[in-house]
Chain A
Amino acid sequence: MAEGAIQAGCAFYAGYPITPQNEIPAYMASRMPEAGGVFIQAESELAAINMVFGASAAGVRAMTSSSGPGISLKQEGISYLAGAELPAVIVNVMRGGPGLGNIAPSQADYFQATRSGGHGDYHCLVLAPASVQEAYDLMPLAFELADKYRSPAIVLADGVLGQMMEPLVTSPRHKVTKSPEKPWALTGCKDRPANIVKSFYIREGDLERFNLLLQKKYKAIQDKEARYEGLNLEDAGVILVAYGTMARIAKSGMLKLRQKGKRAGLIRPITLWPFPQKVFQRLTVHGKQYTKRIIFLVVEMSYGQMVEDVKLAVDGRAKVEFLGRSGGGIPTENDVIKAVSRLIR
C-alpha cells in the first residue's frame, strides 16, 4: 500500500504508530524522502490527520494510515477534510474493537468508514482490497478519486492483509493519473487573488447551499464509482456477499460448493461507499426468472454491518442471511460451506 501510494505520486505522509499497520510508516520513513516527499511521525493521530489537511491544502497528494482506535481520533480531521473539500487518502488496517480491543483481524469499522465517521453530513469514498496486489493497485485509484471529487478516500483493509506476505507486481497495473491542477491550493497568492481553505459557513443559508453541493457530488459518486467483483451470479441460488480478506475465504468456499454441484455465487464489493447497489437490484428485480429463489448470505468479520447495506439494496425483494464473527474470530471456509448448504438444501 505504501509503495502503491508512492507510485500514485503521494508526496506527504504523516502517521502515528499503531498495530497492525506499523509496516506502512516504517516503509514511508525511508521511501518517502527517496521519492522527494515529506514523512513526519506525528505526536498523535489528531496531529497526523491535521498535517494531512495542511499538506492537501498546500496542493500535494497526502495520506495517513492507522487502525481502529487511531482512526477514531482522526475523525475530527476527516470531517474537516470533507468540509473543506480537500482530497486525502486514509488507510485503516482494521483490528478488533471496541475500545483498545485487540490486534487481531476485524471488519468492525465498516460503519465508521461508510457512514460519516465524524460529525456532519458527509461521506468518504471507501475502497476495500482483498489481496496484497489489490491493496497496491487500489492506492492510485484512491488518490485519483480523492482528487477527482475533492474528497477524503478511505482504504479499508484488515489485519490479515496488513500482516500477510504475497507476491506483488510493483509496476503499476493501474494507469496512474497525475495529480491534477489545483488552482484552489495554498501556494502564496502570486498573480492571483488570495485562496482560502475553509469549512466554516456562518452566514444564514450558506451552509445549507454548501451541503446541497456536497450531496450533488455524492450522487455523482454513487452513479459512477461503484465497483464490485461478481462470480457465478447468473444461476446462483445462494449468493455470498463479502469484502476484503473475508471475500477470499468466501470465494474458496463458493468454489468448493460449485465442485459439489451447489449453485453458489459471490459478490465482492470493491467500493463499500458507494455501495454497489445496482448489482443487487439487477438480480432481484421482479419479473426475472431467478428473482424469488435467490438468498444472499453476507459474511463478515463483524456481527453484522455490511449486511445492512445489502438489505437496503435488496429492499425486501430477497432473503438476506448473515454469518459473522468478531473480536478476532474469523468465519472459516467450512463455516461458509455449512451455512450455504443449509440454505440450499
Chain B
Amino acid sequence: MEKVFGRPNSLRNVATHYCPGCGHGIAHRLICEVVDELNIRERVIAVAPVGCAVIAYDYWDFDCSEAAHGRALAVATAIKRVHPETVVFTYQGDGDLAAIGTNETIHAANRGENLSVVFINNAIYGMTGGQMAPTTLLGQKTATTPSGRQAGSAGFPLKISEMLASLAGVYSVERASLHAPQEIVRAKKAIKQAFINQMENKGFSLVEVLSPCPTYWGMSPKEALDWIKDALIKEFPLGKLK
C-alpha cells in the first residue's frame, strides 16, 4: 500500500510541550514538510525565538540557534552573511518580532537581508502567562488588560506586516492562518515560497501566520479556531501584502 502521509524527516519523533489546540505544533510541522520537499535539511539553519517556541530546536532536526528575546533577525543576519550558501530562517512570535524586537525586525527587513521569517501571531504572550501582545485586539482580555485592551492607554493592534510591506528592502510579505485545513495548506505554500525566495536570492520574505492560543484566550480549541475566523482575521486580513 502506498504511504501518503507520514512524519517529515526533519521533525524529531518526540512529543511537544505545547498546550492542546496550540498552533505551534502545526507551524513546526509545516516548516519541516517544506524543508523536506525542498531537500534542504543539510543546509538549513533556524533561529528560534524566546517565547513558547523557545525549544523549537528540540523538535526540528536541523541546525538551530537560540536568540535573545527579539534579536533573532540580528543573529540570523550574521549567520546568513557568514554562510550565504545556507538557508536561514527565523521563527518568532508577536512579542518577539513586533515588540521587543521591532528594531531588529525593521532594520533586517530594510537592509533586504536574504532571509525567511515565519511570524506567529497569536495576539498574546503565551510563555509568560497571557499578557497583552502588540497584536492583541481592542477589547481583548489578557493578564495585563483585565478589562480588555483600551486604545486610550494601550494603543492599537500593531500591523507590523503592513509596515514591513512598505519598505523598499522587503521582497515579499504574506499573511496566512491555521484556523482551517484549507488555510493550513495556504500557509504551507506561503512558507515554502518564502524559502524558495531566499534560495533564489530574492531577499527578505516574511509569512505572518495567525495561530490559535486556546489556553490564554480562555477558549476551547474549537472556539479558538472560530475566533481567528470571526475576529482576528477582521483586524489582520489574509493574503499577499507584497
Contact = CB atoms under 8 A, between A and B. Distances in A.
Interface string B197-232: 000000000000000000000000000000000000
23 contacts: A11-B82, A12-B78, A38-B82, A40-B81, A42-B74, A42-B107, A43-B103, A46-B103, A50-B104, A51-B74, A54-B67, A54-B75, A55-B82, A62-B78, A76-B68, A80-B68, A187-B83, A188-B62, A189-B41, A190-B42, A190-B43, A194-B61, A198-B57
A275 interface: no
A54 B79 contact: yes
A54 B76 contact: yes
Contacts of B52: none
A77 B71 CA distance: 9
Contacts of B77: 40, 51, 54
Contact of B107 (A47, A52, A53): A47
A58 interface: yes
A195 B63 contact: yes
A158 B86 CA distance: 39
Interface string B28-69: 000000000000011111010000001101001111111110
Chain A contact patch, size range: 35 or more
B57 to A, nearest CB: 5
A11 B82 CA distance: 8
Interface in A19-67: 38, 40, 42-44, 46-48, 50-55, 57-60, 62
A200 B55 contact: yes
A39 B112 CA distance: 15
A44 B68 contact: no
Given A54-B77, A188-B86, 19 more contacts: A38-B81, A40-B78, A40-B81, A47-B71, A50-B74, A51-B78, A53-B67, A53-B71, A53-B74, A54-B47, A54-B82, A57-B65, A76-B68, A186-B83, A188-B62, A188-B85, A194-B64, A197-B65, A198-B64
Nearest to A14: B78
A40 B54 CA distance: 27
A143 to B, nearest CB: 16
Tell which of A51, A84, A191, A200 has the most Cβ of chain B within 10 Å: A51
A46 B71 contact: yes
A54 B60 CA distance: 19
Contact of B82 (A48, A60, A84, A199): A60
B79 A55 contact: yes
Contacts of B41: 189
Nearest to A198: B66
Contacts of B42: 188-191
Interface in B131-167: none
A55 B67 CA distance: 12
A188 B103 contact: no
A196 interface: yes
Contacts of B85: 188
Nearest to A37: B82
Contacts of A58: 45, 78-79, 82-83
A266 to B, nearest CB: 41
B82 A12 contact: yes
Nearest to A58: B82
A141 to B, nearest CB: 23
A240 to B, nearest CB: 41
Contact of A199 (B47, B66, B76, B83): B66
A202 interface: yes
Contact of A200 (B47, B54, B83, B104): B54
A132 B220 CA distance: 66
Contacts of B66: 80, 84, 196-200
Nearest to A202: B55
Tell which of B45, B85, B103 has the most Cβ of chain A within 10 Å: B45
Contacts of A190: 42-43
B103 A47 contact: yes
Interface string A168-200: 000000000000000000111111001111111
Contacts of A11: 82
Contact of B64 (A38, A47, A48, A196): A196
Contacts of B107: 42-43, 47
A302 B45 CA distance: 45
A186 B57 contact: no
B61 A55 contact: no
A38 B80 CA distance: 11
A197 B56 CA distance: 12
B86 A52 contact: no
Given A194-B63, A197-B66, A198-B66, A188 B83 contact: yes
3 A-B pairs with least C-beta separation? A54-B78, A54-B75, A50-B74
Contacts of A191: 42
Contact of B78 (A53, A80, A200): A53
Nearest to B71: A50
Given A46-B74, A55-B78, A186 B104 contact: no
B103 A187 contact: no
Contact of B63 (A40, A47, A51, A186): A186
B49 to A, nearest CB: 11
A219 to B, nearest CB: 26
Nearest to A190: B42
Contacts of A52: 78
A33 to B, nearest CB: 12
